[in-house]
A and B are shown apart, each in its own frame.
Chain A
Amino acid sequence: MQITSMHFKARAGAKLADVRLQGALKKLQGNFVKGRADRVAELDNFQDIRDAAAAIRDRALANLDVWLDTFERNATARGTVVHWAETHDDVNRIVKEIAAQHGVRKVIKSKSMVTEECALNDALIGAGLEVIETDLGEYILQLAKEPPSHIVAPVVHKTREEVSDLFAEKHNAPRLTDIPALCREAREKLRPHFLSADMGVSGANFIIAETGSTLIVTNEGNGRMVTTLPRVHVAITGIEKVVPTLEDVTTLLRLLPRHGTGQSITNYISVTTGPRRAGDLDGPEHFHVILVDAGRTKLIGGDLQEMLRCIRCGACMNHCPVYQSVGGHAYGWVYPGPMGAILTPTYIGLENAPDLPNASTLCGQCSVACPVKIPLPDLLRKLRERQFEQGLKPWHEVAALRAWGWLAQHPSVYGLMTRIKVRALKAMANREGMIRSLPFGGGWTDRRDFPAPAGKTFREMYKAKNKN
């Protein structure tokens, strides 16, 4: 996926002015935020489960290499071929090699954010393969040639009307407007592809060290098809997704659907271990797993390691006032919202996403909503510090803060400056006591008025009050 994270501010402005997008984003808050709250309330010991989930993720990260090695040994013993990829390009190369090795022509995919990172579809199409996304949302995006705007609900930015137009045009069929009819249309278009594909590509929500299994959750059933029907299955996932045991993954599964889609459980949870066994009537003949670094080890061991607990539920973005206002595309890469504001700069470089650590009000909703207790605002602050230390802050911001710092250390000058400033601002006010346009603060007054101060500083008023 093309990276446009440099342009967060400009894109955020455009998204705020997009009435249609704003309508779509409102629905997200109702469904996902309320859904999570309702489903969490079903658990009498939610906080205990949440603590345990964070501990499970930390246990895996504390000895990540040993758990990965254990996964690899158990997976290999079951006939799975495990590959390791250091970069996105490595992933694409390995998948192309597997496809060539097995004479693959058609590839079906279930939703995988790691493959979005890699721009795998373009790489495979470039190698002459036919690639079909089968998650309904991703299928719509593939037809529309757009990137996803949410990691769980990738097409949240589109309305039914847009999907109707798109299907009518791309399927060359009568325009349907009823949502169940649109879903059936996609089902009927995709069913033949499921049955004729040579290779299925999926992600993995978790990989289980104990059994060498990969696990995916889906609602549509496309994930089951992708991992069952083609003769080759390739599961691609980040190295941080390893979980020690079946019991541990069970604990995490009490939280992932509740936080992701507001469901007590996802429709399908599929745990796959190795290729087809002797006598089996279905299942792939060849099963490959690709373990991907591509930036993840940059978070290991440092003060951002907690970010690797992430189980990709999307709750942080659903609860984020910034995401709720600008949507996912403004963030400019695969991962939007608070988790993306940390992952994108660390994966692709802070210099390529300078606005993202600042695209947060630090209100703390994300860390409250996070099922594995990632302290997202703290991590965003750490990235901001890094940004300053590496000289990546714009000069005028640094200069303004320096000036303020100097003033704050010189109380008499500070007092004088504020006395002048509050009087000047009061003089600028209109009859309602509001300032229509603020010099050096245009962003503040573009869409609202600024209330003028009282004309005296707090210290002046406090002194006057004490005299009486």
Chain B
Amino acid sequence: MSARANILARIRTAQGRAVTGHSEEREAVAQYIAAHPQGPRPQVDADIEARFRDRALNLSTTIDTVTTVADIPAAVARYLRDLNLVSTAVCWPEFAGLDWAAQGLRVEVRSAGGDDLVGITGAFCAIAETGTLMMCSGPDTPPATSLLPETHIAVVSRNRIVTGMEDGWALLRRERDALPRAVNFISGPSRTADIEQTVTLGAHGPYRVHLLLLP
């Protein structure tokens, strides 16, 4: 007998269920998955943008607003300059066409490596309940760009802010056939409290997460 068969048989025997022939149970499981009911959800104010901002700021994320996509390079340049950060970055392909050079920035369109200091990404959507970004991996949305650099700048459209994580999954079910390899929920800069329970930002991932909100 294989380990698999042994373990599954032990479970069924211990619970007093016949070891073979459980098509009814399979059917019930399939039905539950097809229905995937939501659990009870906490109340979240109707103004989900305000809620998103409030929670994101609480998580040490910073937020700026831009009126058009073309304004992104200026906003990025301003942010980096104000914090005395480098003027080089890597970005996702969706921002390849922007005029970065006009703002004195050198931005390469590729996935981030270990030495890149600034990563610019979009987001699949944003979750108001917790101030969280939902990111889906793909050829044009490499996860490393939001992870390896010390500064992560994410561009999010206001109309992609949803109330809770359930709404993020619903959006994903609606827009895609299946889950991508990785769905990453990001809630502020990376942190640790392992030494004396003192919260310190920038453990292995970014020290800073900065959002640019588009209309």
Interface residues of A, Cβ cutoff 8 Å to B: 24, 27-28, 31-32, 42-46, 48-49, 52-53, 56, 59, 62-70, 78, 84-86, 90, 134-137, 140, 153-156, 158-160, 163, 179-180, 182-184, 187, 190-192, 194-195, 209-211, 213, 219-222, 224-225, 227-229, 239, 244-248, 250-251, 253-254, 261, 264-283, 291, 293, 297, 300-302
Contact = CB atoms under 8 A, between A and B. Distances in A.
B189 to A, nearest CB: 8
Interface string B1-22: 0111011101111111000001
Contact of A137 (B42, B166, B190, B194): B194
A190 B148 CA distance: 12
Contact residue range for chain B? 35 or more
A28 B39 contact: no
In the A-B complex, list the 9 residue pairs whose CB atoms are closest, starting with the nearest.
Answer: A221-B205, A301-B14, A279-B139, A220-B203, A251-B39, A137-B194, A221-B190, A269-B185, A48-B40
14 contacts: A64-B11, A69-B8, A153-B193, A155-B195, A158-B195, A219-B190, A221-B190, A229-B144, A247-B39, A268-B205, A270-B183, A271-B179, A300-B15, A301-B14
B19 to A, nearest CB: 9
A26 B164 CA distance: 35
B42 A45 contact: yes
Contacts of B32: 59, 244-245
A257 B8 CA distance: 31
Contacts of A64: 11, 15
Interface-central residue, A59, A179, A267, by most chain B CB under 10 Å: A267
B111 A282 contact: yes
A297 B11 contact: yes
A245 B197 contact: no
Interface in B176-193: 178-193
Contacts of A302: 14
A269 B184 contact: yes
Interface in B129-156: 130-132, 137-139, 142-144, 147-148
Contact of B111 (A65, A264, A281): A281
B40 A220 contact: no
A84 B7 contact: yes
A239 B187 contact: no
A198 to B, nearest CB: 16
B26 A250 contact: no
Contacts of B132: 265
Nearest to B169: A246
Contacts of B144: 228-229, 281-282
Contacts of A67: 29
A222 B204 contact: yes
Contacts of B202: 180, 183-184, 187
B138 A279 contact: yes
A65 B6 CA distance: 11
- Residue from A137, A163, A281, A302 having most chain B Cβ neighbours under 10 A: A281
Given A66-B29, A211-B179, A297 B195 contact: no
Given A182-B195, A213-B179, A267-B59, 6 more contacts: A63-B25, A155-B194, A160-B195, A222-B203, A254-B42, A271-B182
A79 to B, nearest CB: 9
Contact of A268 (B165, B187, B194): B187
Contact of B139 (A86, A179, A268, A280): A280
A293 B143 contact: no
Given A68-B8, A134-B204, A163-B195, A270 B2 contact: no
B143 A228 contact: yes
B195 A280 contact: no
Contact of A179 (B39, B137, B195): B195
B53 to A, nearest CB: 15
A247 B38 contact: yes
B197 A153 contact: yes
Contact of A293 (B7, B30, B59, B196): B7
B198 interface: yes
A153 B199 CA distance: 12
Contact of A194 (B186, B191, B204): B204
Contact of A267 (B26, B111, B166, B187): B187
B181 A276 contact: yes
B131 to A, nearest CB: 8
Contact of B200 (A153, A183, A267): A183
Best-surrounded residue of B28, B148, B166 (most CB of chain A within 10 A): B148
A300 B192 CA distance: 35
Nearest to B113: A195
A280 B181 contact: yes
B33 interface: yes
For B183, B188, B196, the residue with the greatest tally of chain A CB atoms inside 10 Å of its CB is: B196
B185 A247 contact: no
B187 A272 contact: no
B97 interface: no
A148 B34 CA distance: 41
B67 interface: no
Contacts of B13: 301
A56 B22 CA distance: 21
Contacts of A224: 143, 147, 184, 205
B150 to A, nearest CB: 10
B196 A159 contact: yes
B186 A268 contact: yes
A184 B204 CA distance: 9
Given A27-B197, A65-B8, A268-B186, A282 B142 contact: yes
Contact of B142 (A32, A265, A280, A291): A280
Given A273-B179, A279-B139, A52 B193 contact: no
Contacts of B6: 86
A283 B182 contact: yes
A191 B29 CA distance: 43
Contacts of B40: 45, 48-49, 52, 251
B10 A297 contact: yes
